[in-house]
Structure 1
Amino acid sequence: MNKRIIKEYTLSIIGVFLTAVGLVSFLMPYNIAAGGANGIAIVINGFTNIPVGILMYGVNIVLFSIAFIFIGKEFGFRSIFCTFLLNFFVDFLDRIVPFPKYNGDDMFLAVFFGVIISAIGMGIAFSVNSSTGGTDILARIMNKYTGLPLGISLLLLDLITGIAAGTVYDLRVGMYSIVSVVFNGLTVDFVMKSMNTSNILTIISENTDEIINYILNNLDRGASIIKAQGAYTNQEKNFIYVAVNKKQRGDIVRKIQKIDPKAFIIIQETLDVIGYGFKNFHNFI
């Protein structure tokens, strides 16, 4: 198993555990259905005495079948792993161990902290092409075929669950569930952007050879040299075009400062870079 796979599964486990903590400690005690398989299970729990963790298994079986068809085997297998783990964590923390739960009178605090913690977990899992199951799978399909951001896709799908919670329990629970859905979708999208953002640098310098050597040998990145002509001097110049992650951005800027303090650097943020050292095609499609 290579380092990339180990990293992806490690982040998936961390993300799933955080999601379970947010659900069990804050949202489930108040029947807040913030979407997903958990939200659907909370709604069904209003009619039955079956534990939420058990109900989540049944909800996900149907959705996994859809994932295999539209997303592919890798996404499906990792989703099975993460969803089984999420179901296990939810059931374990809810029924088996006395995990701390918020029992205050302020439902807003329960919604705020529950959504923040669970959405951060979901965002971490999403960033490595994993899923916490439930409507996450449908959101990934919508993202693939419509281009809608995952957070917004989740928002649209989970609004129905929030409305259903208001019907099963009471209007206050339903309204907070809808707030949770919106807040969750925006937070997931923010977390994913924060984790996936890379930088494109356009570097104009008189010492391009030394800078290129540093990029190739120290950063293990590729770069392109663009021939150009200065508008003021009419002299030919070489522009260096390179994609780096956020840490490498600081490294290369500090190095260029030592090599050529007069260099001109344009830095642009970009959400996705596909290729060597960044995302693989199977992690994007």
Structure 2
Amino acid sequence: MQDYLLIFLGALVQALAMRLFLVPALLVSGGISGLAQVINYFTGWSIGIMVLIGNAPLFLLGWRYLGGRRFATRTVWAIVIFSVLTDLLAWVIPPAGVTDDLVLNSLYGGLVFGVGLGLVYRGKGTSGGSDILGLILYRRKGISMTQAYLLTDAITVLAGGLAWNWELALYGMVVIYVSGIAAELASEGLGTLRTAMIVTNMPDEISARVMEVLERGVTILPGTGAYTHQSRPVLYCVITRSEVNQLKELVREVDAKAFMVIGQAHEALGEGFKPLKPEERMEK
């Protein structure tokens, strides 16, 4: 139920982005919805109905690669809600939208649309269209969501440029880029966690201090220097962003010659962080 509520909220946010910023400014949002915008401009056909029709072939591709029935039910839910709300909001929101400034429409349209897309992803669904292709690239090829979004939506932007003008197409690229970043942040979080790897000759002392002061677990990994061929333990731990400076100072006090690398993590599951639920374990 929580996933379906997230998908509903995400589809609503996307529909608002369409009617408040993108459709009034003739800015394509990418994918099937972007093509529907272009066709709607010339024919007056319903954007929502065209989104439903255009998603049929890509839906079959998603069924094959993104989870069968589980993918199907969530994606159908997202597509139908987005299509219906996009058409319904046309009766409520003025055709001119919020502003006629292309820069503001590009930035806020991309931001709001991307947040909605990220909420749909967080609900383990997709918004259909090229989002399906983007998610396949993201999961199968390791391409970041931002890059995958740009690749799959390039054709729609070109169509917008041919239909209207290339200035609007360039702004459309801004929309797609911003929405890709927003989708990544909304679906994976702000990356407030940090990972630390510490190469030191005093692993026991540093581990004890980390567990005592920061109350974080530490894993000691065996390591060998490629140049010296000497064995050196490597400490690995996960901390929050606010604890980074504390960890640096702690390590400096114990072993000023230690080598430390700080990385970024999107999520940590297990003791000390979010619990690893049975359903999450199955999905991973």
Match status 1:107 vs 2:89: no
Counterpart in 1 of 2:162? 167
Counterpart in 2 of 1:150? 145
Please report the TM-score for the alignment, with normalisation by the length of structure 2. Answer: 0.71
Q: Indicate the larger mover: 12-21 or 39-48.
A: 12-21
Counterpart in 1 of 2:43? 48
Quick one: distance in 2 between partners of 1:43 and 1:161? Answer: 9
Quick one: distance in 2 between partners of 1:105 and 1:156? Answer: 28
Q: Identity percentage over the alignment?
A: 22
Quick one: distance in 1 between partners of 2:77 and 2:259? Answer: 44
Matches within 5 A, 1:1-285: 6=2, 8-73=3-68, 74-95=70-91, 97-98=92-93, 101-102=96-97, 104-127=99-122, 129-168=124-163, 170-171=164-165, 174-189=166-181, 192=184, 195=189, 197=191, 198-202=193-197, 206=205, 208-209=207-208, 211-212=210-211, 223-226=218-221, 240-244=235-239, 248-250=240-242, 262=254, 266=260, 268-271=262-265, 276=270, 277=274, 280=280
List alignment gaps of at least 5 residues for structure 1: 230-235
**Aligned-pair distance for 1:165?**
2.3
Distance 1:35 1:55, change over 3 A: same
Q: Indicate the larger mover: 184-193 or 266-275.
A: 266-275
**Aligned-pair distance for 1:211?**
4.5
Quick one: distance in 2 between partners of 1:152 and 1:186? Answer: 11
Quick one: distance in 2 between partners of 1:14 and 1:269? Answer: 32
Secondary structure of the structure 1 residue equivalent to 2:195: strand
Distance 1:243 1:115, change over 3 A: same
Report the RMSD for the aligned CA atoms in angstroms: 4.0
Quick one: distance in 1 between partners of 2:44 and 2:59? Answer: 25
Secondary structure of the structure 1 residue equivalent to 2:153: helix
Distance 1:127 1:58, change over 3 A: same
Secondary structure of the structure 1 residue equivalent to 2:90: helix
List alignment gaps of at least 5 residues for structure 2: 225-230
Quick one: distance in 1 between partners of 2:168 and 2:83? Answer: 23
1:105-142 Cα distance to aligned partner (Å, 9 max, x none)? 43333223212221232234335543222210111122
**Aligned-pair distance for 1:94?**
1.6
**Number of corresponding residues:** 263
Quick one: distance in 2 between partners of 1:239 and 1:156? Answer: 39
Quick one: distance in 2 between partners of 1:36 and 1:89? Answer: 18
